[in-house]
Amino acid sequence: MKRGLTLRHKRLLWAWAAAGLLAAAGLALVALSLTGRTGSKAATPQAPRPPLAYVATVTPEVTAQPSPTPTPVKVNETPPTRMRIPSIGVDAPVIVLGMDRNGVPLVPDWTNAKRPGWVVAWYDFSALPGQGSNAVFAGHVTWDKAPAVFWSLSQLAPGDTISVLTQEGKELIYRVVDNFTVDPNDPEAVKVMGPTKEDTITIITCGGTFIPNRNDPYGGEYTDRVVVRATLLSVQAASSASQ
């Protein structure tokens, strides 16, 4: 998998605009006064009738206020160290990567890993797992012309579980909610790496068709990216055997 894994954008679109509307209701009071009239046929003027007065009030409409979004509970404060996906046989160490000088996310290679095809990268510009937002991971589907750590990622189905172990000895268990592909040339595709309102992990690898290219340092490029989304299910202490 080449750097196209990271959608090959020179700069990530991390600004997320928030817009809100404030509605106000006005209160109108209308006062009406009706006076009596003198009868023309009466010899003696009638005593004036008491004024008929009333005030009509308009009950103000109550604008429903949106419920405040609950603040996610942070359940982890340290980087991930390992990822396990039982249904596809993944049990791999996690390394921490960032961006290169051009603002492109790095991928595992010989400069940062002893076995680049069999490690998972967590990006430190995304949220920590267990911090209530989107923790972004990536890994190779093939390496050195052979299947790699995420060879079977596209087979994950909703309900499958993913375990993320952290430095502080916690095991965060996530449940898959979606598995889809995106076009790396679509500017909107980068949004899968943006923040989320709930505790989520996003795993990205290559997919589609491999197009060979002798001029490419990785030998070619895949046409699609496979994206798996999972949300936090539970947290437990990692056993010594699982670390």
- For the chain, the domains span 81-242
Domain covering 81-242 assigned CATH 2.40.260.10 in the classification = yes
The pTM for the full model equals: 0.71
When mean pLDDT is compared across 13-17, 43-47, 58-62, 126-130, the lowest value belongs to 13-17
pLDDT confidence tier of residue 134, bands split at 50, 70 and 90: very high
pLDDT at 15: 32
Per residue in 125-139, is it b (16+ CB within 10 Å) or e — as a string?
A: ebbbbbbbbbbbbbb
Residue scoring higher pLDDT (1 or 20) = 1
Determine the longest span between alpha carbons in the chain, in angstroms: 119
Query: Quick one: which H or E segment has residue 30?
Result: strand 29-34
Residue 32 CB burial class (10 angstroms; 0-12, 13-18, ≥19) = exposed
Distance CA 186, CA 227 (A): 14
Q: Using one digit for the tens of pLDDT, what is the confidence trace for 147-162?
A: 999 999 999 999 999 9
Read off the pLDDT of each residue in 100-111 and give the average, rounded to a whole number.
Answer: 92
Distances (CA, A) of 42 to 34, 35, 46, 51, 165: 21, 18, 7, 20, 101
Mean pLDDT score of the chain, rounded to an integer? Answer: 78
Which residue in this structure is represented by tokens 């990006």? 123
User: Measuring CA to CA, which residue among 96, 145, 89, 137 is closest to residue 117?
Assistant: 145
